[in-house]
Amino acid sequence: MGTVTFVDETTTGARTASAPLTVPEERLPLRELIARRVALETGPEGYEDALAQALAAFARNGFLVLVGDRQIEDPDETVTVGPATEVVFLKLVPLVGG
């Protein structure tokens, strides 16, 4: 059993962290961590749509996910959860005009 803290970060360095979330699994796919993050933010109403939007944004590089010092590029890649795992969602800002 471990804990995950979700951190939103921007390219300017601004950071906002969630309260730690207890995760009973030791290993799980990034897709599941994203799903749990979405569930925390949306609750049961609107969850499916919000999850689809989040996964689509990840697929089009709308944000990067860093676990520890490692970027996870595949939503099906397995992530190891330890006693204090930080999962950073780095929001990328598109250039003006494209």
Nearest to 61 by CA among 73, 79, 47, 76: 73
Helices and strands in the chain, H and E counts: 2, 8
Q: What is the rounded CA–CA span in Å between residue 53 and residue 42?
A: 12
Model confidence at 31, in pLDDT bands (50, 70, 90)? very high
Whether the per-residue pLDDT at 97 is higher than 60: the answer is no
Instruction: Write down the pLDDT at residue 95.
Output: 61
Q: 88 by DSSP, 3-state: which?
A: strand
More confident residue, 36 or 92: 36
37-49 per-position pLDDT tens digit: 999 999 888 999 9
Q: What is the rounded CA–CA span in Å between residue 83 and residue 61?
A: 28
Instruction: Write down the pLDDT at residue 43.
Output: 86
